[in-house]
Structure 1
Amino acid sequence: MKEENESLDVFPFIEIIELEKNIEESLTKIRSTISKGNPIMTMIQLHGQKFFNHFGDIEASVYGNVKPYENKLLDFTQSLIVTNDINQGTGCLNKNEITGYLEELDKLFTAASIYVNMAPKDELIKYSQGMQMNVSGTLYPFFEKEHFTDMLSPYTDLLEEIFGITSIEAVEGLLAISKHLRTMGFVEALINSGASPEEISDEVLLNIAEYFNVERITGWPIEFIQELSLQQGECKDFYENDLQVMLKETPIKYKPFIGVGDKYYCFSIDNLIDNFYRTVLRAMRRKKGSISNRINDIQKDLSEALPFKLFKTILPASQMFKSVFYKAPVGANGKNEWCECDGIILFDDVMIIIEVKGGALSPVSPFSDEEAYKKSLNDLAKNPYEQSLRFFEEYKRTGKIDIYHKESKKRYKFTTSIENIKFIQACCVTLDDFNEIASQIEKTEFIQNSDLPVWCVSVNDLRVYPELFDSPSLFLNYLYQRSHATKNPYIKLNDELDHIGMYFAYNDYCTRISEIAKEEDIEEIFIASHRDEIDAYMARKINTDLNDGEGESFYDILFGPAPKPRQEMDFMFEQLIKLLDSTKDHLCIRAARYFLLLDSYSRDNLSEFLSSRSKKLLEFKSRQAILTPYMAFNYKKEDRISELPVITIFLLQASNKLFKDVVQRKRFLMERVLYEDEPTYCILVGMNKNKELTKVITHIIGPEQFQMLPESAYELLKNTRDKIGNSRNIKEF
């Protein structure tokens, strides 16, 4: 039996050796082709190839790059140019050479992907390597101006001191490159040169090269550009062997521009945007090593402030406490010590524990240095989660926690007490994007199993939330649904934004996936990407921004307008949620959150009630008759949903006096709630003559309000309640 097992183990080894041979042979052919052409001309030709391929491909144009080798075409070629000390040609490659180059590149990436999947590594490392090798472009261009203004403005004094450039000039230059490489300017350059895409002479290519000239595009000081550039052949010792070409990070990750003589060019916009912030910081450190501590201090302040700025946009009425301190047992002896938490966000009965890490995700690839990569994940995910967990456990111990702010080294001042929290979420935010693993890290060794749900998110992805969630109730409901997905073993998504797409598609997507697994009796579920609508929407936002608002956007002309992604709801139900949100009252928003927990059947019943009863209400108004339609939910004790209270919704004319008279309204509700011995959420909705919902008030009627009544008042109320109860015709949902 042992011999049989040993023979089975040989086959993967033989296949890996064969794959390594294929990678080596492909690289030999690829290098040979590159050596025949002028490096800048080759890069222009490949840029044109990629541009026109995607120009005619709707899926690629709207959703991004489709084939991995096309996605990494420019990065890979530029990296080979700067790492190979070979004799370069002086002209451009012919059509056959370009075609052969692309075919060989496709074979190379396919072999490398198979190699990664077969390698004797754990699944997390293989997954991360595959994503880094094939994916780029992690920030939507629509956010580039806001993002880099936020990230670089704190460094403006240092940038001026070292390079003679302000942060505003750095951002404007970067945006100019982005606009240059993402719009139709390349086509205009070709047209102006008098050449066709199929036949371009060496002379034309040399003239078009100015289109990619960084100094001409940005106006940046040449010293700054040089510090971000690599000359051809400058990094000839970067790769130790052919396998590293595919498995190690690229040298242009550290310096994105390519220099030839005294001119510097940019071809890969995705590589530039993905790495620009860290590249600028490295450049400043190289030029003036003594400023490292200043950079660290700036980065600490930046990382702690930025997430709260974004959350304030999503939850404007929330309370935010930055850099808080609290007492908790620490160490083996369990002695109470002062502990720090980066921040707490409170919204009604929801608490979000914020821990932020400004440190960099390891720039090395997972396969080239697995230990360094795992250490950076430990720093960016495990450590902040454990800090959040300590705060969570201290709160759960007594159901209350006092927080303080630090006034001096040993002096702490009381800020507030936190209690009566129903839902707690840990949110670990990173300045660096680690999108290729953030959506899966919650189910790895880096996050210990506990009752505290965790949401690991980069600032890049966090920026998307204010754009897609303009409702606090929807966002908080999303967090609730996402917290369940974290614990579901079937849900393994490739991207943070897939969670949003799944939420928009199914609301309670955790339950939906579990039902599918049970129905099909399967152990593993492949979940296709659910971010396509988000990508399409953001693509239009990208183009509108780059178009400076002049006329129709390019994508709109080609494909028509893209609607904002949203969760599909019946019109009346959506109108009710928006009305509750618009009050900015926490109790109304809590009611909206409860309604959003309803399944589609219950939502439809609620919509039908609002629609049909509104017609009746208008009819009875003309007859001068009194009608108060209402419906109750979750009141049947045998079918209770533990996450929801008893909810009763009343539909009234917007002119009804109950909206103004608090005493009359309270008595009206106490007469009609189903139970005296438990809280009931009462939502009064006012409708105008056009059947539009225009007013809403939410009350909680509970046992204490009945207990406070004098005995005579209570008996009178009880008699009225009995009469109403006997005639009650509650519409259920």
Structure 2
Amino acid sequence: MTLLTNEQERKELVSALIREMEATALDMRALILAMPPEDLLGYIYAQRLMKMKDGTGNHPEQHDVKKPDDTINDSQFLLEYVHAVLASDSAAEEIEFDETKCTELFALSSKLKEQAMSFAMVSSAETGNQDFGPKTADIEFHMKSTWVLLRGNRYQVLEGEFYSYVLAPHDDVLREVYGVGATEIADGFQDMANATRAGHVNAMEEMMRQFESAHNFAKERNKPLEEVMEAWVSENEDQSKVAGRAIDDMFRGGVANVSRHTKLPPELLADLAYQRGEETEFFAKGDFSGTPYRTLPVRKKPLIQLESDYYAVDPCFTRDAGYRALLFNLLQKKPDYKHSFKDRQKTMSEGAFPDILADQLPGATIYQEVYYKDPMTKQWTENDTLVLVDDVLYLVEAKAGAAATIASPEIDFKRHAQSVQDLVLKAYSQCERFFNYLDSADEVPLYTRTGGKYEECGRIRQSDYRLMLPIGLTVESFSPFSSFCKDLPQIEPLLGKHAFISMSIDDLFVLKRVLPTPGIFSHYMEVRQAVAGMRGSHLFDEFDHLGAYITKNRFDEDIADQMRDGGASFVVWNDMSKIIDRAFEGESWEDNPIPMQDFPKELIRLLGALNTTRSKGWLGAESLIRNYGEQERNDLAKLLSDIGKTVGQHPERYFAFSGNDQPLFVWMQSSEHPVEWQKINDKASAVALSTKAKEAVGVFIEIGNGDAYTKAECFKANAPSVQSEKNAHIFEDAKRISERISNVSSPQAVASSKPIRSRKVGRNEPCPCGSGAKYKKCHGR
């Protein structure tokens, strides 16, 4: 009886919250309709600008879900409702701007958002849905709160790059339909983003220029400014029009006027826009009328037509919904293009990973549309993209469709959940089948399909790969589900150890900038995979993971420590992306230093030589070195420097470094002397034996003129398990090494949870990322 009463109370509370949301939404609708839309937009944007200038709000490019109650995010939420009302209602005849009403509108917007979040908590608490097993209640709350709060997931300065890439396959059809191609449309979307980012600043600067011009005009005539303004306007008609547009941008929402700030053709803008009163569903009678749990019109068409111009009222959904809306309308106008469209989307999405990350995957063996016969079903099965680089395997399953459904998780949970399953679980299942195939034999064949026939195109051994990364790739950002998917009950590490990673093409454009070399990229992916396998660890999106990596390095170990030592079952890391966000801020963002970890100069030389030589196993050696914390890096750098200086007096020098569980053996030798690999391998085996390790990672460094590292080759040396007459000298050497290894190594590792301190890098010094390029041409650009 008590349970029944509690359930009844919960239902009554849910119903009450729905009624409260509907009432608040109607009040907001009435206030929005009572004011001129341009003046209202100007006021809202001005509030955002003031909060950004006084530092009390988030940067506009940060993820709004992280601080949902600040003024900037409240204004973003409000802009969606302005768009919804303008799309749903014709213009009222008697309207007048009222700042008091604007203040009330902000308060109602904040209230509605709080009501929506309360509803998400209460309605998800004892859900009847079981789509995600025992975790469904938590996941349902996550879906609902994300639906309400999440706005804007990309760095606005990269909009053009994203659109240029994803629209390129349809360039010819876009030109046929709209008269402009992928490049011009990408420029238009970048212009929209730029107008939001910098429109007020540009307008202010333009107003100052025009004021100075008018002031000089008055000064030349030796008259007060007010007496000559009419004459100045008459003689400077073009300048006065420019000044008028700047004033409009500053005070009447002109920064949102995409007709003014882009060169996109009206026909294309019309396809992305609502006319006043065109939308009939959002405020229609029924449950959740006008609430955030209906589909906001901006998710379907991101623009609004006001008189003859088109406005991007809400800057975030202009970006998030613009891509889907554009392609939807393209297919409406060219229905016969549907089949070719799917083929082109498939080709683009499946090739995106190795294409965008070409610099991170040098010399890779790439298989696309690789086939194999599933040993369980005996059926031919296909995987999208297999990339093999040194001892790293990337298996990428690409999903070319939209990253998120526009179906509300409250109105249609099944459909909303299905989009998650389609984009995550299907990719996961395809990766799982392939990994099981790899595990079915020591070596397995791969096939390509030509003319309906399957032909062998290669063979692959699981044992050749130290790191195997199954990846689900979406076109658009799928945050936060991309990072949250590890908590889906269906997802377990493949073969018990290879965690599944979900990311987007959006993410790749940032990763390629911040992680420019194969070594740092594969090491990040190694750490990223470790976190992907930790249930209950939550970072919002890929850029939080990236920021945590740059500042903490092995942040997976930090999280593990928090869970183990603190007894936490759920760990949340917020705002880790700040260091990445700052790299994309400001008008001169391309000149900002790209964030990176710090390495001593000697390690920079070694990483650069490894990257240049790229001998077999070089990524494993880089991984071992990049795992070191600050003190270990400094210790290793000192050994390299001190011993390297003596190579001129000795034909060869070596040392062992036991910074973690696996020893690093370094052999340094002048390029003038022949290489004796048997001698080197025996010494490395003795080192492995002396440290009780099964094997040692070896690096052979050849030193040329001026102490330059001319090459750095990698090798592995196994510790012999049984002593024999043939290897007795190795056991004897191991005993001698054990007695003095502590004098030449630093076995005590600094916990990787400590931030890695940065130092100022000279612009002409080698870049600390290990690329081999000068800092000014790499991360310091």
Corresponding residue for residue 368 of structure 1:
411
For the residue of structure 1 that corresponds to 2:486, the secondary structure is helix
Aligned to 2:230: none
**C-alpha contact 1:41 1:202 (8 A) present in aligned 2:** no
Return the alpha-carbon distance in structure 2 between the equivalents of residues 494 and 123 of structure 1: 15
Q: Which residue of 2 aligns with 1:94?
A: 98
2:193 corresponds in structure 1 to 178
Contact 1:189 1:208 in 2 (8 A): no
1:117 and 2:117 correspond: no
Report the CA distance between 1:396 and its aligned residue. Answer: 0.7
Given that residues 293 and 408 in structure 2 are in contact (C-alpha distance below 8 angstroms), is that contact kept between their aligned partners in structure 1?
yes
Q: Residue 401 of structure 1: which of 435, 438, 444 is its match?
A: 444
Contact 1:27 1:108 in 2 (8 A): yes
Which residue of structure 1 aligns with residue 302 of structure 2? 256
User: Cα deviations across residues 499-544 of structure 1 (Å, max 9, x unaligned)?
Assistant: 222323333323322222332333333322311111111224xx32
- Partner of residue 75, structure 1: 80
Q: Which residue of 1 aligns with 2:713?
A: 697
1:255 alignment partner, SS class = coil
Q: Contact 1:405 / 1:413 at 8 angstroms: preserved in 2?
A: yes
The answer on whether the counterparts of 2:17 and 2:115 sit within 8 Å (CA) in structure 1 is yes
Letter in 2 for 1:397: S
Unaligned stretches of 5+ residues in structure 1: 195-199, 554-561, 635-639
- Whether 2:686 is the aligned partner of 1:674: answer yes
Kept after mapping to 1: 8 A contact 2:654/2:665: no
Alignment map for 1:129-208 (pairs within 5 Å): 129-183=144-198, 184-188=201-205
**Letter paired with 2:700:** L
Cα distance in 2, alignment partners of residues 594 and 486 from structure 1: 20
Q: In structure 2, what is the equivalent of residue 104 of structure 1?
A: 108
Q: Tell me the TM-score normalised to structure 1 length.
A: 0.84
For residues 489 and 722 of structure 1, what CA distance do their matches in structure 2 show? 42
- Mean CA deviation greater in 504-513 or 422-431: 504-513
Partner amino acid for 2:180? I
Alpha carbons of 1:208 and 1:672: their partners in 2 closer, same or farther (altered >3 Å)? closer
Alignment of 1:38 onto 2:36: yes
The answer as to whether partners of 2:483 and 2:540 remain within 8 angstroms in 1 is yes
Q: Does 1:215 align with 2:259?
A: yes
> 1:672 deviation in Å?
6.2
CA, structure 1 residues 671+232, in 2 after alignment: closer, same or farther (shift >3 Å)? closer
Q: Describe the SS at the equivalent of 1:60.
A: coil
1:674 partner amino acid: A
Alignment-derived partner of residue 524 in structure 2 = 478
Please list, as runs of the form range in 1=range in 2, the aligned pairs for 1:150-549 lying within 5 A after superposition: 150-183=165-198, 184-188=201-205, 212-240=256-284, 241=286, 242-330=288-376, 334=377, 336-360=378-402, 361-419=404-462, 420-448=464-492, 450=494, 451=496, 452-540=498-586, 543-544=587-588
**What is the DSSP-based 3-state SS (H/G/I as helix, E as strand, rest coil) of the residue aligned with 1:585?**
coil
Instruction: Report the CA distance shift for 1:626/1:103 in structure 2 as closer, same or farther (over 3 A).
Output: same
Equivalence for 1:606: 636
Distance apart, 1:358 and its partner CA: 0.6
Shift of 1:159: 1.6
Select between 26-35 and 353-362 the one with higher mean Cα deviation: 26-35
Alpha-carbon contact 1:256-1:271 (below 8 Å) kept: yes
Q: Structure 2: which amino acid aligns with 1:587?
A: G
The answer to whether the 8 A contact 2:369-2:383 is kept is: yes
Q: Is the 8 A contact 2:257 2:311 kept in 1?
A: yes
**Cα deviations by residue, 1:625-647 (Å, 9 ceiling, x for unpaired):** 6773512438xxxxx94xx4x53
Identity %: 19
Compared with structure 1, are the counterparts of its residues 588 and 433 closer, same or farther at alpha carbon in structure 2 (3 Å cutoff)?
Answer: closer
Shift in Å, 1:413: 4.1
The aligned amino acid for 1:426 is P
Comparing 276-285 and 121-130, the one that deviates more: 121-130
Would you say 1:591 and 2:635 are equivalent positions? no
Query: RMSD over aligned Cα, in angstroms?
Result: 3.6
**Could you tell me which of 633, 638, 645 is aligned with 2:658?**
633
Q: Per the alignment, do residues 14 and 314 of structure 1 end up closer, same or farther by CA in structure 2, a change over 3 Å counting? A: same
CA distance 1:238–1:611, shift in 2 (3 Å): same
Contact 1:85/1:236 (<8 A) preserved: no
What's the CA shift string for 1:330-366, capped at 9, x where partnerless? 5xxx4x2321110111112221111111122312232
Local SS of the residue matching 2:440? helix
Q: Distance in 2 between matches of 1:665 and 1:586?
A: 15
Cα deviation, 1:259-293, whole Å, max 9, x if unaligned, reads 13333222333211112221111111222333322
**Offset of residue 684 of structure 1:** 3.0
Q: Secondary structure at the match of 2:625?
A: helix
Q: How many Å separate the matches in 2 of 1:435 and 1:722? A: 52
Note the alpha carbon deviations across 1:186-224, whole angstroms, 9 max, x for none: 435666898xxxxx9999759956664433433333222
In structure 2, do the counterparts of structure 1 residues 532 and 17 end up closer, same or farther at CA, with 3 Å as the change threshold?
Answer: same
Confirm or deny: 8 A CA contact 2:192 2:261 kept in the other structure. yes
Question: Equivalent residue for 1:557?
Answer: none
Residue 69 of structure 1 aligns to which amino acid in structure 2? D
Distance (Å, rounded) in 2 between the aligned partners of 1:226 and 1:668: 71
Using the TM superposition, name which of 351-360 and 565-574 deviates more: 565-574
Per-residue CA deviations over 1:420-454 (Å, capped at 9, x if unaligned) read 22322111101132112110112203525642310
Matches within 5 A, 1:651-730: 651-652=668-669, 655-658=670-673, 661-662=674-675, 664-670=676-682, 673-674=685-686, 680-685=696-701, 695-701=711-717
The equivalent position to 1:54 in structure 2, one of 43, 48, 52, is: 52
Does the C-alpha gap of structure 1 residues 666 and 8 become closer, same or farther in structure 2, counting only changes over 3 Å? same
Mark the CA change 1:440 to 1:82 in structure 2 (over 3 Å): closer, same or farther: same
In structure 1, distance between residues paired with 2:668 and 2:192: 56
Q: 2: distance between equivalents of 1:689 and 1:297?
A: 54
Task: Determine the C-alpha separation between the residues in 1 that align with 2:60 and 2:304.
Answer: 28
> Match of 2:682, as an amino acid?
M
Confirm or deny: 8 A CA contact 2:469 2:529 kept in the other structure: yes
Q: How far apart in 2 are the matches of 1:203 and 1:354?
A: 47
The question of whether the paired residues in 1 share the 8 Å contact of 2:682 and 2:730 is answered with no
Distance 1:349 1:212, change over 3 A: closer
Which stretch of structure 1 is more off in the superposition, 105-114 or 242-251? 242-251
Q: Secondary structure at the match of 1:698?
A: strand
Q: 1:724 to 1:309 in 2, by over 3 A?
A: same
Aligned-pair CA distance for 1:407 = 1.3
Partner of 2:667: 650
Q: Distance in 2 between matches of 1:153 and 1:375?
A: 29
Give the partner amino acid of 1:94.
D
The answer to whether the 8 A contact 1:581-1:588 is kept is: yes
Structure 2 counterpart of 1:564: 594
Cα distance in structure 2, aligned partners of 1:505 and 1:293: 46
Distance 2:208 2:664 in 1: 66
| Aligned-partner Cα distance in 2 for 1:312–1:20 | 51
Secondary structure of the residue aligned to 1:427 is: strand
How has the CA–CA distance of structure 1 residues 233 and 511 changed in structure 2, closer, same or farther, with 3 Å as cutoff? same
Q: 1:263 to 1:192 in 2, by over 3 A?
A: farther
CA displacement, residues 210-250 of structure 1 (integer Å, 9 cap, x when unaligned): 66443343333322222211112211333335555211231
